[in-house]
A and B are shown apart, each in its own frame.
Chain A
Amino acid sequence: DTAVSQTPKYLVTQMGNDKSIKCEQNLGHDTMYWYKQDSKKFLKIMFSYNNKELIINETVPNRFSPKSPDKAHLNLHINSLELGDSAVYFCASRAPGLAGETQYFGPGTRLLVL
């Protein structure tokens, strides 16, 4: 079974549209994240979410908003998509405690804004 899953894997859309990416983890982890990987493969944290506490990277535009309907899901909503939003978005999760210092990543969602 896939530990961290994301849908869709590919997303092609027009500039100005609103879109959502879904993430689910079946690991029972408490903390989930969204990362953005740019064309140069640089990975950067966007959000972390733990027990209803959201921490936002200050560089992330407010057009991006995570929504967590329950502990196993952290979806990413993007409003008014821009060309520069094109990237690969990764969801990740982390367990509490020492062993939870590691994070487990989903397969990624490749977003292309035209």
Chain B
Amino acid sequence: GQQLNQSPQSMFIQEGEDVSMNCTSSSIFNTWLWYKQDPGEGPVLLIALYKAGELTSNGRLTAQFGITRKDSFLNISASIPSDVGIYFCAGRLIFGGGADGLTFGKGTHLIIQP
């Protein structure tokens, strides 16, 4: 099946530092999504990207849909303790119609040291 390569697998950073993570694929995606999962909860959508080259911000978060449609990155600026969690990239291959699901990366575990 389709795979998304997400890196890094984990990050140990100091509070206040900026964070960067990315996903790449051998396939072209029509949509890139970034989710965050807190312990004991379901994934929560952070940012959705629909066009190649699109750069979107949500507060301290910024994500971009790669021009080749095969990659995306997520940046978090000035990290705070509540940013701790697992961040997932996800892509959807078929645009509109169909009842297909998302393909997820393996997640980036973000740990912040005070």
Contacts and interface: CB of A to CB of B under 8 A. Distances in A.
Interface of A: 4, 31, 33, 35, 40-45, 48-50, 53-55, 57, 90, 92, 96-98, 101-108
Given A40-B106, A41-B106, A42-B106, A105 B100 contact: no
What range describes how many residues of B lie at the interface?
20 to 34
B114 interface: no
B8 interface: no
Contacts of A48: 99-101
26 contacts: A40-B106, A41-B37, A41-B109, A42-B104, A43-B104, A44-B104, A45-B101, A45-B102, A45-B103, A53-B99, A54-B99, A55-B98, A55-B99, A57-B101, A92-B101, A98-B96, A101-B30, A101-B31, A102-B33, A102-B45, A102-B48, A103-B45, A104-B45, A105-B42, A105-B44, A107-B40
Nearest to B47: A102
B50 A43 contact: no
A41 B99 CA distance: 23
Contacts of A98: 50, 96
A45 B86 CA distance: 18
Interface of B: 30-31, 33, 35, 37, 40-45, 48, 50, 86, 88, 90, 92, 95-96, 98-104, 106-107, 109
A106 B99 contact: no
Given A97-B96, A102-B33, A108 B41 contact: yes
